[in-house]
């Protein structure tokens, strides 16, 4: 059975715009943020660089925890056109981008792309070809709601991280007060839909990316159990930086050994 994607429509008379003044940590300018209600999700765009609340939250988390990120080895999975990916690609001295393209062989390098990353390596995050312990940081933005086996993917990320390395990610936690639930899975190479099909944007495909998971309050525990890393989930709310969103959680997973208690 084919299930058509769901679309959420807002009538023009429902839209109310409010503008707030603040400072954007990404473009580092005093700007205006516009909040459009009732659809708060991904509202509060920066009037200068176009960044959204979760991108600014991720940037604050990255600079707060790893202010030397420009000198580190960073893998970004599925980078797009946004200013976070642009800054990582242009300012990090050892930056690697990857995209999932099922029609191309894993590890194939794509050089003819208009994406800001300039080139990328084709990678299935569930079965990466990167060597063990080769990255200091792995960054993903709104990727883990589109993976069929996210727990295998997070285990693979842990494998590629150096000891003491970390992963930082934005993931829409749409079920804050309920456990995570699956929306779709692969069975013998065929998609089994467990909920109406929903698609988000995909930087390398006009067909979009199928949402496979509705993540809930247990996401950090799920990732920790699957990867052996220590996860924290931070919720950012700061209107001075235009950060308010229905899904503004940042997950940070650290690959660090337990201290000796001897």
Q: What is the pLDDT of residue 9?
A: 41
Q: What is the pLDDT of residue 245?
A: 80
Query: Structural domain boundaries of the chain?
Result: 53-254
Could you report the per-residue pLDDT of 77-100, keeping only the tens digit for each?
999 999 999 999 999 999 999 999
Higher pLDDT, 131 or 256: 131
Most confident range (mean pLDDT) of 13-17, 45-49, 145-149 is 145-149
Higher pLDDT, 34 or 168: 168
Q: How far is C-alpha 51 from the geometric centre of its chain's CA atoms?
A: 14
At 257, the pLDDT band (50, 70, 90 cuts) reads: confident
- How far apart CA 106 and CA 98 sit, in angstroms, is 10
- How far apart CA 110 and CA 89 sit, in angstroms, is 15
- How far apart CA 241 and CA 239 sit, in angstroms, is 5
Q: Given a cut of 70, is residue 42 above it in pLDDT?
A: no
Could you report the per-residue pLDDT of 10-41, keeping only the tens digit for each?
444 444 568 889 999 999 999 999 877 655 55
With tokens 């609340």, the residue in question is: 53
Could you report the per-residue pLDDT of 198-228, keeping only the tens digit for each?
999 999 999 999 999 999 999 999 999 999 9
Which residues contact residue 188 at a Cβ distance below 8 angstroms, ignoring those fewer than 6 apart?
Answer: none
Tokens at 105, concatenated: 């062989």
Asked whether the bond before 38 is cis by omega within 30 degrees of 0, the reply is: yes
Which region among 35-49, 90-104, 172-186 has the lowest average model confidence (pLDDT)? 35-49
At 43, the pLDDT band (50, 70, 90 cuts) reads: confident
- How far apart CA 233 and CA 86 sit, in angstroms, is 25
Q: Given a cut of 80, is residue 5 above it in pLDDT?
A: no
- How far apart CA 75 and CA 227 sit, in angstroms, is 17
Question: Strands across the sheet with 135-141, in order?
Answer: 109-110, 120-122, 94-99, 73-77, 135-141, 161-170, 249-254, 230-235
Tokens at 249, concatenated: 């959680």
Residue 2's CB is within 10 A of a number of other CB atoms, namely 6
At 3, the pLDDT band (50, 70, 90 cuts) reads: very low
Query: What percent of the chain has pLDDT above 70?
Result: 89
Tell whether domain 53-254 is in CATH 3.40.50.150. yes
At 128, the pLDDT band (50, 70, 90 cuts) reads: very high
Q: Given a cut of 50, is residue 6 above it in pLDDT?
A: no
Mean pLDDT of the chain: 90
Could you report the per-residue pLDDT of 227-247, keeping only the tens digit for each?
999 999 998 889 899 998 878
């Amino acid at each position: 059975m084919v299930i058509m994607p769901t679309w959420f429509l807002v009538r023009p008379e429902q839209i109310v715009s409010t503008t707030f003044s603040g400072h954007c940590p990404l473009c580092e300018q005093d700007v205006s943020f516009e909040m459009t209600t009732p659809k708060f999700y991904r509202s509060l765009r920066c009037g200068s660089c176009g960044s959204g609340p979760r991108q600014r939250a991720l940037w604050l988390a990255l600079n707060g925890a790893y202010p030397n990120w420009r000198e580190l080895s960073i893998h970004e999975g599925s980078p797009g056109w946004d200013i976070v990916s642009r800054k990582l690609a242009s300012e990090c001295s050892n930056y690697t981008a990857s995209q999932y393209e099922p029609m191309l062989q894993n590890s194939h390098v794509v050089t003819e792309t208009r994406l800001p990353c300039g080139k990328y390596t084709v990678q299935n995050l569930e079965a990466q070809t990167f060597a063990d312990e080769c990255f200091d940081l792995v960054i993903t933005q709104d990727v883990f709601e589109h993976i069929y086996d996210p727990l295998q993917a997070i285990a693979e990320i842990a494998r590629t991280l150096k000891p003491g390395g970390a992963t930082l990610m934005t993931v829409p936690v749409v079920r804050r007060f309920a456990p995570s639930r699956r929306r779709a899975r692969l069975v013998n190479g065929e998609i089994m839909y467990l909920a109406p099909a929903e698609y988000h944007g995909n930087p390398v495909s006009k067909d979009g990316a199928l949402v496979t998971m509705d993540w809930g309050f247990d996401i950090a525990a799920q990732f920790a159990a699957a990867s052996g890393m220590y996860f924290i989930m931070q919720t950012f709310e700061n209107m001075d930086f235009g950060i308010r969103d229905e899904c503004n959680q940042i997950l940070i997973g650290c690959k660090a050994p337990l201290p000796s208690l001897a």
